[in-house]
Structure 1
Amino acid sequence: MESAQFRLTPAQSAFCAHVRTLAETELAALAAAGAPGHVNRPLLAAMGRHGLLAKLFPGADVADRRAEAAALDLCLLRESLAQVSTEAETALALQGLGTYPVVQNGTEEQIARWLPRVVAGTAVAGFALSEPGSGSDAASLSLAAPPSADGWTLTGEKTWISNAPEADFYSVFARTTADAGARGVTAFLVPADRPGLSGNRLDMISPHPIGRLTFDAVPVTRADVLGDVDHGFRVAMRTLDLFRPSVGAFAVGMAQAALNASITHAGHRKAFGGVLKDLQSVSHSLAEMATRLEAARLLVYSAAEAYDTGESRIASRSAMAKLFATETAQFVVDTAVQIHGAIALQQGHLLEHLYREVRAPRIYEGASEVQRTIIGRELYRG
């Protein structure tokens, strides 16, 4: 369902259907064949061949390579993939998250070297912001970048990093000015083969490629800077403002899959002399799931449209979309498990899978509490 304000065009609806079909017929099988917790390069290559990664970076094949994806297009892409394959959705999203600091702030040389390979699915990107002591409080990061003869050396640790340690390059955020908070952070593009850079994989509740990076005097120069020195926090936030509504879209896609499964199950499962859907408690649960899901979808679309039209205070709109959609998805998936009963707890069941997947989006790219802080702060700004 769509409101009049956010009714999709025929082309958008056709694209969403195409993505779901592609995921069902090819991508889901490639995702299942991948090693849990590792980068799935065959899956990325397939998404490159079918143009899905190019949809993230619509300017990759024209002279202006800095063109961004429309936030609404990004949301539709992530929502459509998530309804079928959360692994494919996550692989695509992590490529975008790690690459957008380069797209938005990189030099022509940086963009020319990496963007075509990302679009083709032959280079893997990582977004290296979080640290053991600064997850949600990104402005307090401490990866040290003292000056050297040729630039800086990076010393410290990053953790919960997308595609680490298997990415080909990372967008890394380091402290170039001590005791300056958000104003003393610089963003660097760091190829994975730099001396002193190592890492290891982390086992998470869902088997995504997430890891830890260790920087032992890793050399970087001015040619590696993304944007301006000491203004890297702005680089990170600009990327997150684009991706936060689409995290909500990922959540909406998962919730839609859970609702669809529940409607089917409740319509066929015999219990208490009838089918589950005829029990008021079940029908009311389905109604609540559907209502919250529709509200979340519209809030995500609204935030995406606000980003695309250049509205002010996009940070609060993005925060609202991510907050409400991820919390709604948690509710919908949990309720779907309750409707299904014990069968949904078996390993390999769709809802067992979604139950593990749905928890992380309430934490990454700013926990729900951080989103509420952003919204509350914006209410008093200006």
Structure 2
Amino acid sequence: MTLPTHMDDILKLAEETGAALAPLAAGVDAGLTDGQETYRILRDAGLLGLLLPREAGGAGLGYGGYSRVLAVLGAHNGAAALGFNMHNVVMGALADAAATPLPPAADRFRSWMNDEVVRGRKLFASATSETGRGAKLRGVRTSYTLSEDRETYVITGEKSFVSLARIADYYVVAARAEGTEGSSEVSHFVVAADDPGITFGTVHSMSAMNGTSTATMTLDHVPVPRSRLYLGVEGMSLFKLVREPHWMIAGYTGAYLGIAEAVYRCTADYVAASDARAGSPVLQQDLGRMSARLRAARALVHEAGDLVDAERGSMEANAMVHAAKYIVGEVGPELAHDALRICGSAAVSRSQPLERLIREVSFSSVMPAKPHECLEYLGKAAVGVNLYDARAFAW
């Protein structure tokens, strides 16, 4: 499927895809079905290549446009949007290098990955988090060695909370060279779901976001050909994150903005369904307050995304994406609180989508970067700390 390249057409495709995903959300949330059909719809829509360059068959979408698309999907099916983002966190760094001349090995890797996504419709996911460390790269315990012929890496470790477990075709695994505990040099490798030595634990039954199909991944001496070293370079992952943190720390932001939009929409529909409620000045003011908060969050997310596209890696762009992640994480639960107060029993009935949305929107604070990390980053930036120094922040 050829993706549209005009933003209005891309948003229309996202809206159509979101409408197809929406009916699946309740069943997956309740554990009645798995997420396979959700991700089949995303594959068939062609959206997996959204960030890849047009010459490779993608839409060439930047970070700002992507945030808008993710919000559209999130408003229909939050868990699907989060799972889709796990694919694009991986694609984002590749897309950032789209116009950059690369050494032969890195160029071959880029071409292979583009082809797997666009023509093979392969789904990728990130496997970074570890128990006790979260998604922080510094101190990652998963390790690798290089074979004597220097053609194969062997990876050993355990990843926690891996999204798209048993659904993705490939997982991009963060690991450090064996014997380099605490080092800033972290690498990423692409492992296939069926590579020998990979096993998944039971998919977690969570209070929300079951559609992300999250489980523990164990890597027991998994052999990975040298060609699947991400962009052909060892040891540069943390330095990329420090310079350009938008994908890792704020890729989720659009999804949670979309869920917040859905919370507001459900609340407004509830009020509008009754002439008495719709005519109440008190409820009108409540909806006005919700609308103002949501508009402010949306404007900040859009501004941050556009700034990343214009000045990727600048200190102001990096600060803006942290600010946007923090504000969306604050506004979503605030809107949920308002919805509970306004809608009452309609907000807590399992038969209503608002109940699920209220549970889901609170998970923003769990995803990186967490609220206190966003504030610390912004505070350090305010007093002039050099945040390009990997030692200045707990990455």
Q: With structure 1 as the length reference, what TM-score do the two structures score?
A: 0.84
Residue of structure 2 equivalent to 1:139: 138
- Pick from 257, 267, 272 the counterpart of residue 267 of structure 1: 272
Distance 2:319 2:256 in 1: 18
Distance 2:181 2:96 in 1: 24
Residue of structure 2 equivalent to 1:4: none
1:240 is displaced (CA, Å) by 4.8
* 1:52 maps to 2:47: yes
Point out the more displaced range, 26-35 or 359-368: 26-35
1:200-238 CA-to-partner distances (Å, cap 9, x unmatched) read 222222212111111112223432211421212235567
* 1:339 maps to 2:342: yes
C-alpha change, 1:38 and 1:191, in structure 2 (3 Å) is: farther
Distance 2:140 2:33 in 1: 26
1:160 is displaced (CA, Å) by 0.9
Q: Secondary structure of the residue that 2:220 maps to in structure 1? A: strand
Distance 2:346 2:325 in 1: 30
C-alpha change, 1:117 and 1:221, in structure 2 (3 Å) is: closer
Residue of structure 1 equivalent to 2:88: 96
Alpha carbons 2:51, 2:92 under 8 Å: kept:
no
- Pick from 197, 203, 206 the counterpart of residue 205 of structure 2: 203
For 1:299-314, list aligned pairs within 5 A: 299-311=300-312, 312-313=314-315, 314=317
* 1:81 maps to 2:82: no
- Pick from 357, 368, 371 the counterpart of residue 371 of structure 2: 368
* 1:129 maps to 2:128: yes
1:16-74 CA-to-partner distances (Å, cap 9, x unmatched) read 345324422x3324556769498734433333333333323243635xx8x95311210
1:328 is displaced (CA, Å) by 0.7
Q: Secondary structure of the residue that 1:139 maps to in structure 2? A: coil
- Pick from 5, 21, 24 the counterpart of residue 27 of structure 1: 21
C-alpha change, 1:17 and 1:306, in structure 2 (3 Å) is: same
Point out the more displaced range, 212-221 or 243-252: 243-252
Q: Secondary structure of the residue that 2:311 maps to in structure 1? A: coil
1:299 is displaced (CA, Å) by 0.7
Q: Structure 2: which 5+ residue stretches go unaligned?
A: 1-5, 98-104, 387-395
Q: Structure 1: which 5+ residue stretches go unaligned?
A: 1-10
Q: Secondary structure of the residue that 1:298 maps to in structure 2? A: helix
Alpha carbons 1:16, 1:80 under 8 Å: kept:
yes
1:76 is displaced (CA, Å) by 1.2
1:160-208 CA-to-partner distances (Å, cap 9, x unmatched) read 1121243221111111164564522111111122221111222222212
Residue of structure 2 equivalent to 1:7: none
Distance 1:176 1:38 in 2: 40
Residue of structure 2 equivalent to 1:8: none
Distance 2:363 2:55 in 1: 30
Residue of structure 1 equivalent to 2:187: 186
Letter of the 1:188 counterpart: F
Q: Secondary structure of the residue that 2:143 maps to in structure 1? A: coil
Distance 2:357 2:254 in 1: 15
RMSD: 3.0
- Pick from 312, 321, 325 the counterpart of residue 322 of structure 1: 325
Residue of structure 2 equivalent to 1:6: none
C-alpha change, 1:92 and 1:58, in structure 2 (3 Å) is: farther
Residue of structure 2 equivalent to 1:40: 35
Q: With structure 2 as the length reference, what TM-score do the two structures score?
A: 0.81
Residue of structure 1 equivalent to 2:296: 295
C-alpha change, 1:284 and 1:32, in structure 2 (3 Å) is: closer
Point out the more displaced range, 37-46 or 343-352: 37-46
- Percent identity for Structure 1 against Structure 2: 22
Letter of the 2:205 counterpart: D
Distance 1:230 1:177 in 2: 12
1:372 is displaced (CA, Å) by 1.4
Alpha carbons 1:186, 1:230 under 8 Å: kept:
yes
